[in-house]
Amino acid sequence: MQALFGQLLVGLINGAFYAMLSLGLAVIFGLLNIINFTHGAQYMMGAFCAWFLLNKAGVGYWWSLLIAPVVVGAFGMLIERTMLARLYKLDHLYGLLLTFGLALIIQGLFRNEFGSSGMPYQIPTELAGGLNLGFMFLPKYRAWVIIASLAVCFSTWYVIERTKLGSYLRAATENPALVQAFGINVPRMITLTFGFGVGLAALAGVMAAPIYQVNPLMGADMIIVVFAVVVIGGMGSIMGAILTGFGLGVVEGLTKYFYAEASNTVIFVIMVIVLLIKPAGLFGRER
Amino acid sequence: MKRVRGSLIAVAIAGAFAAGAAQAQISDNVVKIGVLSDMSSLYTDLAGAGSVAAARMAVEDSGIEKRGYKVEIVSADHQNKPDVGSAIARQWYDTDKVDVIVDVPNSGVALAVNQITRDKGKAFLVSGAASSDLTGKACSPNTIHWTYDTWMLANGTGGAIVKTGGDTWFFLTADYAFGHALERDTEAVVLKSGGKVLGKVRHPLNTQDFSSFLLQAQASKAKIIGLANAGGDTTNSIKQAAEFGIVKGGQNLAGLLVFLTDVHALGLPTAQGLILTNTFYWDQNDQSRAFAKRFAERDKGIHPTMLHAGVYSAVTHYLKAVEALKSDDGTKVIAKMKETPTDDPLFGKGTIRADGRKIHPAYLVEVKKPAESKGPWDYYKVRATIPADQAFRPLKDGECPLVK
Amino acid sequence: MAISDTAAIATRASNTARAGIVLMLAALAIAPFVGLYPVFLMKALCFALFACAFNLLLGFGGLLSFGHAMFLGTAGYVSAHAAKVWGLPFELAVLSGTAAAAALGTLVGALAIRRQGIYFAMITLAIAQMMFFFYLQTPFTHGEDGIQSVPRGRLFGVFDLSSTLTMYYVVLIIFALAFLLIYRVIHSPFGQVLKAIRENEPRAISLGYDADRYKLLAFILSATLAGLAGATKSIVFQLASLTDVHWTMSGEVVLMTLLGGMGTIFGPVVGAFIIIGIESYLSDFGEWVTVITGVIFVVCVLAFRRGIVGELSAWWSKHAG
């Protein structure tokens, strides 16, 4: 029983990563209708950015949390302006294919430059060590990940679903011409939103750096799983992505305990079942 | 196409004197070496471009080109896909007149190339692949398995650890044929040496988060957690084991397949204390240090792993055999290589067995503490040397059909 | 435009297409004698067939499957196993692999066609991932080592397939038959209804067509032909491995189809030859191949979305029409 508690908690921590990553993906899909396959690569870039800041500029973890998302987000906006903006009128498929190609390029370039085994990044000293919870040893850093992720997820949800800015955003996706007529610069808003979504991926990357290796291929397989999370939650549903992210982390954690071999596959089993029963996902509405 | 041009003029001049007789048996007058490696994913750092550099250095150091032979090196990326690897091997043999393929990290690809090489009567020098099947059920008169194999890893690390008191084990195994083989061989050694296996968990390949598995390992109270995985899976499990205080809590990690580049990627603060088995470490003697220095200049500062050293050593011995025979016929050269004792600056003196197994000592090493290290790449201290005659699987246990 | 004009253009277009098919097959028949390496050609043909099968579904049915590797891989495993372990001759091994893909296609199709667009793609992806897991776990596939040293055997017990040229012509015949079948299907009433459903599904339904049945049939046909490609490939290369069921293979076939021109007859063939050509002849670039592939994707989407064949024929009809 104690072991199970530990597994649940660890699952929840992984869920925190899924939630943060799928949140960015869901924001971009929900507001821009783009399936951003570069998300995994941008997550990797976030981690690399943190590594660079530490090793080349002496900037520590805490500042990286702020700087990396801004830098990578700016890079995302550049892509949005120069490439994605030309595809808005077309089928989703083209956005997906373009970003898939971009992901290959980015990962390829990083791998050629930095090799495949990755770089170390130490846990910041403030968060080193851990707490003994009785049923398990909880590293402080993991506790921080859960708290930070919850804070980021719910503030994002609040901004988009409950503030005036958010309502403009949502309106702009329903009817850009009308919102433009109210004097709001819709293209700029869209660019900023894309940058924000990408920034979330980079933030997750910085948070992942001390736990996982900073590795050019760290996001390559992640993207498929995160994408599945978004689909299960309901494409474009912010709350859906958050809840599903945490939920699937827990389910995956339990699978790792009872049938470890299947832990990468269980998410797809769930996806098939959900899509067959509730086509628009758990929290989505059909469009 | 990447080629070794050597000093063409010198070759031409020297060749004018020596070539006529020497090249009578060399197919299209060129000895062509194909380095088939992983240039784009998991094993890029520990083999990859470094293997090409090592092969090139072996050609240069042999001085064979000054004696009238032309040697060319081509290289390609097998992407860790058996079908891509086998298509390249066929093309190399059929149309590009490649005489020998070297390296090939990834057992699946190596097994495919092994079969094709045999069908075409060429030569195959394996450095990168681990499967001990290459000198067992799948052994071939055209293949030599040079650097290491799963049996040797299991025997070296497993046996040594049980002897020093690590007698209860928990395995963290990559759920792949390779991981299973490593786990099976190590478990056999542990049981034979009087140890016990308390549990095992099989994780999917390329898992990011190992905390769940590590908790299971922790709960088993085994003294040793054996990592039967490779590459990113190994580094991630070691890193997270440190995070979850597993080593501090008294359990030890045994990396069954850890390369120098993995340790470099982890950094000493995380990797210290790890025990592993290698057949080559660059800081062994003056010759290996000199090799490492030259190698690092060519491969982005990376110091040679045992795979790189294996490629160098294998190509060196291959060229000697070619020169002795004055022929590059695959089957004949491999036979010649087997009957000639090996001698090179990196592995010292050694032999090659009838089943194609290259025999040399193995070293049980421990990763240094940060304070003990003099700088980057100074990572290992040798704890024990496993003599050549005990390092590899006995000939009779391999079920190799060539040995009867 | 008067009806007779449209009909004339259609006739001319189909005449051009027929001439193109004859030319293509003739070129392929003499290709080994003009210096092209037959093993490369066989690989390219297998992938061309795979891409054509995929294109039948995407280009003419409007259904993007992101899990087509499962049919390629399933057929590959079954026929490799049949040839190696059961000792079946070439034709029966290929047939059993193809049949397995057809059966799987029926099952998956019945589930997947209930959803559309991106949801259809996700269901196929998810099922393909489950199949990948299945093949990883089942002992007969030998994990990442794959089924190796599969015997090629003899065709009808007569033609020795270990000869590369004989093997090549067998592959070419298989490809030609499948290609003609696809061409026939596209131009049959069935193909026309399929296109109508792609353009406007509700209208097709209101005209009395059972859209789901058409889509299912197209799916099964596509899966079967993808299986034929996989079965042939595994015997030719004497190898069936996890690569063929991995999701990146599903991505690769999308790339081939898109690059060549989806919804065109020759597009997938052109796309497959280019991609396999890059893989074989640029393998010296090693580490750069991924980047090059990525650049092709991006350039295709940004600059010529209709693909090579699509853009060419658009240019042709603008200047010649």
pLDDT tens, C158-198?
788 788 888 899 999 999 999 999 999 998 999 888 888 88
Which tokens go with B158? 């497993």
Share of chain B residues as helix, strand and coil, in percent rounded to the nearest 5: 45, 20, 35
Helix axes B286-298, B306-325, angle to 10 degrees: 100
**Domain range summary for chain B, segments of one domain joined by +:** 8-148+283-360, 151-278+362-392
Higher-scoring residue by pLDDT: B16, C15:
C15
Closest A-chain CA to C110: A276
Q: Is there a contact between A118 and B235 if contact means CB atoms under 8 Å apart?
A: yes
**All residues at 6 or more sequence positions from A27 whose CB lies less than 8 Å from its CB, including other chains:** A156, A160, A193, A196, A197, A200, A238
Higher-scoring residue by pLDDT: B56, A86:
B56
Residues 101-130 of C with CB under 8 A from B: none
Closest A-chain CA to C255: A97
Give the per-residue pLDDT at B61.
92
- At B280-318, the pLDDT tens digits run 999 989 999 999 999 999 888 889 999 999 999 999 999
Residues 30-69 of B with CB under 8 A from A: 40-46
Residues 206-245 of A with CB under 8 A from C: 224, 227-228, 231, 235
Nearest to A199 by CA among A8, A29, A45, A31: A45
Establish whether this prediction's ipTM goes over 0.95. no
**All residues at 6 or more sequence positions from A157 whose CB lies less than 8 Å from its CB, including other chains:** A238, A239, A242
Q: Give the minimum alpha-carbon distance from C10 to chain B in angstroms, rounded to a whole number.
A: 41
Which of A213, A214, A217, A250 should be substituted to probe chain B, the one whose Cβ sees the most B Cβ atoms within 10 Å?
A: A213
Closest B-chain CA to C145: B108
Which of A100, A259, A286, A287 should be substituted to probe chain C, the one whose Cβ sees the most C Cβ atoms within 10 Å?
A: A100
Q: Which residues of C touch B176 (CB under 8 A)?
A: 136, 143-144
Evaluate if residue C249 carries a pLDDT over 70.
Answer: yes
- Please tell me if residue B206 touches chain C, with a CB cutoff of 8 Å: no
Give the per-residue pLDDT at A202.
95
Q: Is there a contact between C39 and B94 if contact means CB atoms under 8 Å apart?
A: yes
Task: Say which range, C3-12, C146-155, C293-302, has the weakest mean pLDDT.
Answer: C3-12
Fold category of B151-278+362-392 in CATH: Rossmann fold (3.40.50)
Confidence of residue B16 (pLDDT cuts 50, 70, 90): very low
Nearest to C66 by CA among A13, A224, B229: A224
For chain A, which ranges sit under pLDDT 50? 287
Q: Is there a contact between A116 and B45 if contact means CB atoms under 8 Å apart?
A: yes
- At B311-347, the pLDDT tens digits run 999 999 999 999 898 888 989 999 999 999 999 999 9
Prediction pTM value: 0.86
Q: What are the distances in angstroms from CA C87 to CA A179, C37, C142, C269?
A: 69, 29, 18, 32
The domains spanning B8-148+283-360 and B151-278+362-392 adopt the same CATH topology: yes
- Please tell me if residue A100 touches chain C, with a CB cutoff of 8 Å: yes
* End-to-end alpha carbon distance in chain B: 43
**Mean pLDDT across the stretch C154-158?**
78
Q: Note whether C260 and C107 are within 8 A (CB).
A: no
Fold category of B8-148+283-360 in CATH: Rossmann fold (3.40.50)
- List all chains that touch chain A, counting a touch as 3 or more CB pairs closer than 8 Å: B, C
Confidence of residue B358 (pLDDT cuts 50, 70, 90): very high
Confidence of residue B5 (pLDDT cuts 50, 70, 90): very low
Q: What is the C-alpha to C-alpha distance for residues C49 and B102, in angstroms, rounded to an integer?
A: 33
Q: What is the C-alpha to C-alpha distance for residues C83 and C76, in angstroms, rounded to an integer?
A: 11
Evaluate if residue C284 carries a pLDDT over 70.
Answer: no
